[in-house]
Amino acid sequence: MSTIKSIKAIQVLDSRGVPTVACRVSLDNGTSAEVKVPSGASTGSKEALELRDGESIFLGKGVMRAVKNINTFIQPAFIGRNPFEQEKIDNELILLDGTDSKSKLGANSILAVSLAMCRVAAKDKKISLFNHFSNIYKDITGNTVKPSLPMPMLNILNGGEHADNNIDIQEFMIIPKGASSFSEAIRWSSEIYWNLKNILKEKDLATAVGDEGGFAPNLNSNEDAIKLIIESIEKSNLEAGKDIFLALDCAASEFYKNESYHLVGEGKSLDSEQFANYLADLVNKYPIISIEDGMDEDDLVGWKLLTEKIGSKCQLVGDDLFVTNPKIFQDGIDAGLANAILIKFNQIGSITETIKTIDIANLNNYASIVSHRSGETEDTTIADLAVGLGVGQIKTGAPCRSDRVAKYNRLLWIEDDYSDLHIG
């Protein structure tokens, strides 16, 4: 049996040019693998803590403390150990930290080690990372999952915290549901993206992109963004509501203040019921089949109202609401909030807890969508996670920018290499 020889971390840069943690685990037989962790901007308040240095270097955003925690504190605890016992390793990492929010060692250091362990174990067993994720799901939960290719949700128009424009809703996404393969889904999405760029140019609107690669023009309303996307779908000779559906991530916590939803771009302030009606109206008018964070993370009354109003015809996804946390998620399910969960492993900080959260979703008929963060790297681990656990959906930005397309490109390779895997 191979054993862990070293765990080494360094500070690297993410897609925003902000420091993040990279970690390499090496085994005694010479096998090694590395990962880089992502970072959010519109973060939920109950996410595990991302440790940052907070001094003048890198404007306070350095991660040298997290790096040091791996090299000097975590590494010695695992030298000579079996790298295949993922749950045991994660539990020990959590114990070593000892806090609920992973604030002592930092979720960025714990997650980096947790993920690097998965990668090195898969490499050592000479199996694909996605098959390894299927295997450890069974080890951790006792349940089985069937690998499949996920339907992508591509964010092609950006607002909110991810762009410097006047659009309040953070993400306008397309879902190429009518595509019969992953590569067709990507081709259609890419054509729509390029047609959207041409339409924006024709209308003298900006074609600069936001953090996740979507365009970020100034527009008069959220509805105008939807209309532009529909126009670009038609220009691509595709049909909205048949080939392509729409999804929104409101990231509503970012514009909820004093019990009102402030749509500054449209000059509107709405209470929970009015905002739920605003969203229900959009769902009735346009082929929107998924809305993420339609309500503020603490507006549970609003969430319940929204779920009762449109939950039967629209996927309602809890991101900031559930923060990939098994306990918070279970409480939300018990309260009847939403019907789907966004899965971001850095919100909780270990692969074992991420898998447990997905298992809770499976057991309760909630859909899971594996997701990137707005701050990403070329790391493609989430592509394998989505495939291996057969969640059926992935959200990883526009078909543009290497940090986003790295995941789509990995999925294109998986599709080509494994012809028995199907989309959705």
Residues that bind Zn ion (CB under 5 A): 249, 292-293, 319
**Catalytic residue of the set 46, 68, 309, 344:** 344
Distance CA 340, CA 312 (A): 12
Distance CA 323, CA 341 (A): 9
| Residue 47 vs 292, nearer CB to Zn ion | 292
- In this chain, which of 23, 105, 179, 251 binds ligand PGA, going by CB under 6 A? 251
Specify whether 201 is catalytic: no
**50 touching ligand PGA, by CB under 6 A:** no
| Residue 189 vs 324, nearer CB to ligand PGA | 324
Task: Please give the C-alpha separations between residue 123 and each of 37, 67, 83, 113, 383, in angstroms, as whole numbers.
Answer: 19, 23, 11, 15, 16
Residue 40 binds: one of ligand PGA, Zn ion, none (C-beta under 5 to 8 A by kind): ligand PGA
- In this chain, which of 26, 42, 86, 290 binds ligand PGA, going by CB under 6 A? 42
Distance CA 355, CA 324 (A): 9
- Which secondary-structure segment (H or E) carries 316? strand 315-318
**41 touching ligand PGA, by CB under 6 A:** yes
Distance CA 140, CA 97 (A): 21
Specify whether 407 is catalytic: no
Residue nearest to ligand PGA (CB): 40
Mask of contacts with ligand PGA, 348-387, x by CB under 6 A? -----------------------x-xx-------------
- In this chain, which of 14, 168, 266, 319 binds ligand PGA, going by CB under 6 A? 319
Q: In terms of C-beta density within 10 A (0-12 exposed, 13-18 middle, 19 or more buried), how is residue 177 classed?
A: middle
**49 touching ligand PGA, by CB under 6 A:** no
Distance CA 336, CA 171 (A): 25
Segment interacting with ligand PGA, rule: CB under 6 A, options 5-13, 40-48, 114-122, 401-409: 40-48
Return the half-sphere exposure (C-beta side, CA atoms, 13 A cut-off) of residue 343: 31
**132 touching ligand PGA, by CB under 6 A:** no
Distance CA 197, CA 211 (A): 16
What amino acid positions are annotated as catalytic residues? 212, 344
Residues found near ligand PGA in the complex (CB under 6 A): 40-43, 249, 251, 319, 371, 373-374
